A and B are shown apart, each in its own frame.
Chain A
Amino acid sequence: MNRLKQKIFDVEFDNPIFSASGTFGYGRDYEDFIPVNEIGAVVTKGTSLTEWKGNASPRVYETASGMLNSIGLQNPGIDHFLSKDLPWLVNNKAKVILNVAGHTIDEYQSVVEKCNSYKGKIHALEINISCPNVTEGGMAFGTNPEVVYELLSNLKRISSIPLIAKLSPNVTDVVEIAKAAESAGVDSLSLINTLSGIAIDIHKKKPVLGNIFGGLSGPAIKPVALKMVYQVSQATNLPIIGIGGIMNSTDAIEFFLAGASAVQVGTAVFINPYVHSEIVKGVDDYLDKHGYSSITEIIGLAWKE
């Protein structure tokens, strides 16, 4: 039997190891290494109503145990996704979580409306209210609990597909934001997005990134992410998808113990394109060795009595 199988917001996932938005394109870039149906779910690049071109170069820069990026949500737009990428993902039997971005509430709503008729092919919409690299939208929607509530309750009212709110760590109190999202009626929370940061070129004496600020990802942010999952999973009744610096199965298991029902593995795939498969196997081995028959038995053990 499959110890890793579980139902989250009424969708049955073969395993709880997902890709992370912005690190896996629409699934095809790593097809030489992992078939998309072997990943718990493919979480797509942030996708908006129309094509977004993204930010000026340089867009990525290595930091100690991590990297900064300021891609700026470059994507071909929702119509391109629905006509070109979704059929390929469906054909390859992927579970699909579409990450949704917008400049305005109207833009988010239009994307959600276009997706409604693809229920069952798109298994969930991950609402990006946490991208630090765009001036309008993204994180601007994710740092004020009233704005979070307004956007998400509007989207929940019109969506036929389960909604996940992707939360930003760049806030005073992530629990307050999580509760606002829960009261708006979303089905799940994913956290964390990148931490806002900067790098400076000491020769040019200017910021390295074209966009000046970027989002920090990689193992450098794991303790921060783990803490927020530990807090939010206790403060809400929603299933939590843990994200942030997961490099191997030990990291992933920490997130399950902290209260995550699933995890997303992002930056690690740039270094190891087999990382998702290796984590699936590592988590399964851990459950077997410790006598658990289901992943659900270890969720939140770090704080449960």
Chain B
Amino acid sequence: MSKKILFDAPVLSNEKICDDVYLLKFKHADFANIVLPGQFVQVSTNFENQTFLRRPISIFDVDKDKSIVMLLYKVVGKGTHYFSSLQKDDSINILGPLGNSFTLEYKKPLIIGGGIGVAPLKYLVREYNREGVSPTLSLGFANIDQSCMASLFTELDCDINICTDEKSSYFHGNSCQLAEVILDEENYDSIYACGPNIMLKNVPITNLPTFISLEEYMACGVGACLGCAVKTIDNNYVHVCKDGPIFDAKGVILNE
């Protein structure tokens, strides 16, 4: 695991992608060089509006040539509301890279994302492309507006399948139901998934290696406070920040 660093970085842009979802780009050469797909950062909320703790945010994408790191986040509370107010040339304070990373050892992965759960998946696809692998994606969104997040993936080599909970021109259903259909069509050798726990509980049960990226309320982000606990099938606790965020889907019991 690479050394964790704490740094201020200039915001390059902070663009609204769809309702409540923003793409923030910042520049930092050292960080861009060491961060791995699946890892996350703890971003300072700068004590705005009575916030206190940092917020864990996934690494959405990295442009190593230009030293640009991208965070995709949804405004859900005071901390992310503060992030949405950041403008070009503002500074953000970042602690990272944190957590484990996605393995890139498979040849035909199926990647499932639900809503803002697509946030750690683009960098995964990009790194798989570097290995010469073109993943298949099942991306589910609440509605057409939210499905704009899928357009962020089109520059990469991958097969994008979209569904929405609301009726639309896309597959009607959630990303796990769509994944079941996709799994019937071809042989895959692995499954990756990220989204709310209610979705992850419905990830297709197969004999394929299945990796899920989890979220939990978090304080330190480095394994010190033991706050972000998830129960394992053998009745122990593991921690999202240090043991995860990526776990073998068969090994953990998801919180409601």
Residues of A within 8 A of B (CB): 22-25, 29-30, 32-33, 45, 53-67, 69, 71, 74, 218-219, 267, 269-274
Contact = CB atoms under 8 A, between A and B. Distances in A.
Given A53-B236, A74-B237, A271-B44, A22 B217 contact: no
26 contacts: A22-B225, A30-B224, A32-B4, A45-B226, A53-B235, A53-B237, A54-B237, A57-B229, A57-B231, A58-B216, A59-B226, A59-B227, A60-B219, A60-B225, A62-B51, A63-B52, A64-B52, A65-B50, A67-B53, A69-B219, A69-B227, A74-B226, A219-B52, A271-B44, A271-B54, A273-B6
Interface in B197-239: 216-231, 235-237
Given A59-B227, A71-B225, A23 B220 contact: yes
B98 to A, nearest CB: 11
Closest 9 CB pairs of A and B: A60-B227, A29-B224, A25-B224, A270-B220, A32-B4, A60-B219, A58-B217, A64-B50, A59-B227
> At the interface, is chain B mostly helix, strand, loop or mixed?
loop
Given A25-B223, A53-B237, A269-B220, A59 B228 contact: yes
Contacts of B235: 53
B183 interface: no
B225 A69 contact: yes
Contacts of A45: 226
| Residue of B3, B220, B222, B226 ringed by the most chain A CB atoms within 10 A | B226
Contacts, number: 97
Nearest to A32: B4
A204 B109 CA distance: 36
Contact of A62 (B4, B53, B221, B242): B53
Given A25-B223, A45-B226, A57-B230, 10 more contacts: A23-B224, A29-B223, A56-B231, A57-B217, A57-B228, A58-B255, A60-B227, A62-B51, A269-B224, A270-B54
A218 B225 CA distance: 14
B227 A71 contact: yes
A271 B52 contact: yes
B5 interface: yes
A23 B54 contact: no
Contact of A66 (B52, B54, B221): B52
Nearest to B52: A62
B95 interface: yes
A274 B255 CA distance: 33
A60 B4 contact: no
Contact of B226 (A61, A66, A71, A271): A71
A55 B52 CA distance: 23
Contacts of A218: 52
Contacts of B4: 32-33, 273
Contacts of A25: 223-224
Interface in B94-125: 95
B218 A30 contact: no
B95 A60 contact: no
B52 A29 contact: no
A273 B95 contact: yes
A235 B53 CA distance: 35
Contacts of A269: 220, 224
A124 B219 CA distance: 27
A66 B53 CA distance: 8
A60 B50 contact: no
Nearest to A45: B226
A32 B229 contact: no
